[in-house]
Amino acid sequence: MTVPKKQRTAIVIAIDGPSASGKSTNAKMVARTLHFLHVDTGAMYRTLAWYCLKHQIDVNDAKAVATACRRWKATLQSGEGQVRLVVDGYYPAQEIRTNEVSAAVTHVAAVPKVREWMKQIQRQCAQFGDLVMEGRDIGTNVFPETDFKYYLDARIEERARRRAAEGIQENLEVRDRRDSQRATSPLMIALGAKVINNSEMTAEQTSRMIIEDIQARLKAAE
């Protein structure tokens, strides 16, 4: 367990964007290069979706999902360069990446009470140190005060190709529509975010662009 840092306010790098825009790959690369902790907030919602499916909770029943989120024994755990949400000390790394969970998570993530709970727990991640946090509302809702905001995007055809390469079948058009039209914390570009369309870029090129921008900003702030 990493000892929380209390000497200064943690730096939070927010990387937002739609499904398969390269958030996870680039967030991990940026975190590794800068020696920051990586936080996959999408995995947190997936963990709740997995929990609901496991306990036969109807993911279309917003009240039931909100109740489950309020009552489940989920805590933050820091280790191996990341901060994760574990349930009864267990992190379902493989289970949350199934097609079934992918289909359920959009319903779970749209529940306002769930997003309120997630925002509180995600902000607590900063107790462990500097973060590279990926998601859909980091720069707009979770850490709107951060100066380091990036929004990744790519053509839907390219994003579909990437998803298929991962072995996941997902209707990205439906997912994008649900994420952008939900009432609470919809997917949108944060004010002041640097937008990067990486349709024609490698992960190395994308992460290098983000890292160079961060390093330039940190140097200017010295």
Cα 182 to Cα 74, 106, 107, 111, 207: the distances in Å are 25, 10, 10, 9, 29
Tokens 């936080």 sit at which residue?
39
144 falls within a domain:
yes
CA distance 167 to 169: 7
The answer to whether residue 18 is domain-embedded is: no
Total structural domains within the chain: 1
> Residue 7 has what pLDDT?
57
Check residue 2 and give its pLDDT.
Answer: 45
Question: Within a domain: residue 15?
Answer: no
In sequence order, the 6+-apart residues with CB closer than 8 A to the CB of 189 are 16, 151, 195
Does residue 3 belong to any structural domain of this protein?
no
- Whole-structure pTM value: 0.90
Q: Where are the alpha helices (DSSP H) in the chain?
A: 23-34, 41-54, 62-71, 99-109, 112-123, 156-165, 172-181, 203-220
Those residues whose C-beta lies under 8 Å from the C-beta of residue 197, and which sit 6 or more positions away, are: 153, 154, 155
Helices 112-123, 62-71: inter-axial angle, 10-degree rounding: 30
Residue 193, domain member (yes or no): yes
In a domain, 42, yes or no: yes
On whether residue 186 sits in a domain, the answer given is: yes
Structure-block tokens of residue 2: 């990493």
Q: Residue-wise pLDDT tens for the chain (222 aa)?
A: 444 444 578 999 999 999 999 999 999 999 999 999 999 999 999 999 999 999 999 999 999 999 999 999 999 999 999 999 999 999 999 999 998 998 999 999 999 999 999 999 999 999 999 999 999 999 999 999 999 999 999 999 999 999 888 887 788 998 888 888 888 888 899 999 999 999 999 999 999 999 999 999 999 988
Domain region containing 205? 23-215
Residue 5 pLDDT: 46
Q: Which residues contact 218 (CB under 8 A, 6 or more apart)?
A: none
Is 11 contained in some domain? no
Beta strand 74-79 with 82-87 is: antiparallel
State residue 166's pLDDT score: 84
Q: Which residue has the tokens 């997003």?
A: 115
CATH number for position 91? 3.40.50.300
Q: 96: which DSSP letter?
A: G
| Contact assessment for residue 20 and residue 160, using Cβ atoms and an 8 Å cutoff | yes
Q: Which two tokens stand for residue 12?
A: 């939070």
